[in-house]
C-alpha cells in the first residue's frame, strides 16, 4: 500500500504530526521525503520536540527505512545535523539524483531583492539550486564522497517494497497553494507541491497509489507575502488563539478561518480520497488530547461533520494535541 500525504493550504498544516502518527500506527517499511529544507516539520513524541527540514517525519518508528527522493534537494549541513539529532543514519538512503544546495545557492538567494522582499522567500538556496537543475548545472548527491554511503535507487526501493506487500509513505512538502503551478504566483515555492508533484519527485507513477491524504488545519495560516482570503488582523488572531510561528523562518504566520470551498478545490485537484484535520483543539479547547471520536464535544463533532459534507471526502484523521499520538483515527470506519 502506498499513501501520499499532502499539505492542503500554505504549509504548516501539521504534516509532520500526521506522518509521524501514521508511521507509528501503520508501521511502513519505507517513508520517502520529497521537497527541500525550506519546509519545516514539527514532531512531538514522548515529550521531546523535533524540528525537521529534510528527513522523513517517520523517523520516530525505528523499524521504518527512510529515503530522500530523486526530485528532492538536500543541504549537507542540515542533513548531517538531523541525522545526529535523530540517530537515524543507518536507516537512510538518498537517491543519487537528489540535488544538493551549495553555499553559492544560499548566497544568490540572500542577495536577491526580489526573493527577499517581494516573494518573501525563506532564502535557503532552494530556488537557486532548483533553477540550476533545470539548466543542467546543479550539483547532485552522487557527486559527493561524504554521501556515498547513502546512495540507493529510491524508485526501485519504493516499487520493490510495494511488490513485497509492504506499506510505503510519501511525504509531500509545504502546501497546495505554495505550488509553483497552482499557487498565487509569484508568491510560491520553487516546485509543484501537489500529490502529482510528490509522485514526480519520488519517481513513480500514479498506478502505485492507494491513498492520497490531504492535511488541513482547523484554520489557515501563511508565512510571507501573497494573498490570503479572509485574513484576520494580528490582534484578532491572537484573541482567537491562532498565533503561530514558522518552523524554518521563525516568522509569525498570518491567519484566516477555515474555508471549505477552497478546501474542496484542493481535494479535487489532488484526487484525495481522505482528509486529515489537525489542531482541532485550538478551535475547540475541550477537544484537547481526546483520542476517541465519541468523546469529542458536540460542537466539535458537528463542525467536523459539516466540513466533511462540504469537501466531499471522509475526514479520517483528527489531531487534538501536539503529541504524535494525539489523534482520532477513523480510517477503519471509513474503509468499512
Task: Dump pLDDT digits (tens) for 48-86.
Answer: 999 999 999 999 999 999 999 999 999 999 999 999 999
State the catalytic residue, choosing from 12, 26, 326, 329.
Answer: 12
Cell matching residue 132: 540550476
12 is catalytic: yes
Q: Provide the pLDDT for residue 244.
A: 79
105 is catalytic: no
How many percent of the chain have pLDDT more than 70? Answer: 95
Distance of CA 251 to the CA centre of its chain: 18
Instruction: Please report, for the domain that includes residue 48, its CATH number.
Output: 3.40.440.10
Asked if residue 307 has pLDDT above 90, the reply is: yes
How far apart, in whole angstroms, are the C-alpha atoms of residue 217 and residue 12?
A: 8
Backbone CA torsion sign across 192, 194, 198, 199: negative
Express each pLDDT in 240-299 by its tens digit. Answer: 888 777 656 667 789 999 999 999 999 999 999 999 999 999 999 999 999 999 999 999
How far apart, in whole angstroms, are the C-alpha atoms of residue 254 and residue 81?
A: 29
Express each pLDDT in 137-163 by its tens digit. Answer: 999 999 999 999 999 999 999 999 999
State the catalytic residue, choosing from 26, 41, 182, 329.
Answer: 41
Cell matching residue 30: 519505507
CA-based Rg of the chain, rounded to a whole angstrom?
19
Binned at pLDDT 50, 70 and 90, residue 120 comes out as: low
Q: Provide the pLDDT for residue 110.
A: 78
With beta carbons less than 8 A apart as the criterion, state whether 54 and 88 touch: no
The domain of 74 spans 2-335
- How many domains would you assign to the chain? 1
Amino acid at each position: 500500500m502506498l499513501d501520499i500525504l499532502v499539505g492542503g493550504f500554505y504549509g504548516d498544516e501539521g504534516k509532520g504530526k500526521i506522518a509521524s502518527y501514521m508511521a507509528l500506527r501503520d508501521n511502513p517499511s519505507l517513508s520517502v521525503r520529497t521537497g527541500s529544507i525550506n519546509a519545516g516539520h514539527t514532531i512531538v513524541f514522548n515529550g521531546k520536540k523535533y524540528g525537521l527540514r529534510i528527513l522523513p517525519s517517520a523517523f520516530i518508528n525505528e523499524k521504518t527505512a527512510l529515503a530522500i527522493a530523486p526530485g528532492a534537494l538536500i543541504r549537507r549541513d542540515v542533513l548531517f545535523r538531523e541525522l545526529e539529532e535523530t540517530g537515524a543514519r543507518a536507516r537512510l538512503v538518498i537517491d543519487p539524483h537528489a540535488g544538493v544546495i551549495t553555499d553559492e545557492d544560499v548566497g544568490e538567494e540572500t542577495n536577491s531583492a526580489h526573493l527577499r522582499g517581494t516573494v518573501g522567500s525563506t532564502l535557503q538556496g532552494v530556488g537557486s539550486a532548483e533553477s540550476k537543475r533545470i539548466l543542467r548545472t546543479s550539483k547532485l548527491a552522487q557527486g559527493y564522497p561524504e554521501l556515498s554511503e547513502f546512495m540507493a535507487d529510491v524508485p526501485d526501493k519504493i516499487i520493490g517494497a510495494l511488490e513485497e506487500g509492504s506499506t510505503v509513505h510519501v511525504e509531500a512538502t509545504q502546501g497546495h497553494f505554495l505550488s509553483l503551478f497552482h499557487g498565487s504566483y509569484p508568491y510560491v515555492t520553487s516546485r509543484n507541491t501537489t500529490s502529482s508533484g510528490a509522485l514526480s519527485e519520488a519517481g513513480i507513477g500514479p498506478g502505485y497509489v492507494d491513498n492520497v491524504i490531504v492535511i488541513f488545519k482547523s484554520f489557515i495560516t501563511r508565512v510571507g507575502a501573497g494573498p490570503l482570503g479572509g485574513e484576520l488582523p494580528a490582534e484578532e488572531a491572537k484573541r482567537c488563539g491562532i498565533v503561530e510561528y514558522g518552523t524554518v523562518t521563525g516568522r509569525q504566520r498570518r491567519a484566516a478561518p477555515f474555508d471549505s470551498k477552497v478546501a474542496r478545490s484542493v481535494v479535487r485537484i489532488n484526487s484525495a480520497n481522505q482528509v486529515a484535520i489537525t489542531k482541532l483543539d485550538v478551535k475547540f479547547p475541550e477537544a484537547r488530547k481526546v483520542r476517541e471520536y465519541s468523546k469529542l464535544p458536540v460542537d466539535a463533532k458537528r463542525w467536523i461533520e459539516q466540513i466533511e459534507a462540504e469537501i466531499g471526502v471522509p475526514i479520517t484523521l483528527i489531531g487534538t494535541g501536539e503529541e504524535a499520538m494525539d489523534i482520532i483515527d477513523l480510517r477503519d470506519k471509513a474503509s468499512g
